[in-house]
Amino acid sequence: MSDWIGWGATALFASSYFFREPSALRKMQAAAAAAWIAYGIIIQAPPVVVSNLVVAVLALASMRRRPEEQC
């Protein structure tokens, strides 16, 4: 079961490259990171959990910036 979560996270992350709209890209990145966090918890891998927690927070935070703040 844990392998399926890892493969699903990989698929979500890879599919994010097909999004052109920045907000859709960030949402997909956050969803993929959440899946990786779940996977990391299941396999008891703190580096996977922490690194993807950082990615998820950054993806969600970058969605909250106003358009004129984005570069």
> The pTM is what?
0.82
What φ, ψ does residue 19 adopt, rounded to 5°? Answer: -90, 130
Per residue in 28-63, pLDDT (tens digit) is 999 999 999 999 999 999 999 999 999 999 988 988
pLDDT at 71: 55
pLDDT at 67: 60
Number of domains in the chain: 1
> Within 10 Å of residue 30's Cβ, how many Cβ atoms?
22
pLDDT at 64: 82
Identify the residue whose tokens are 């709209």.
21
CA dihedral 27, 29, 31, 33 (to 10 degrees): -150
Name the residue range of residue 50's domain. 2-69
pLDDT at 35: 96
Q: Which residues contact 63 (CB under 8 A, 6 or more apart)?
A: 23, 26, 27, 30
pLDDT at 69: 57
In contact, 51 and 37? CB cutoff 8 Å = no
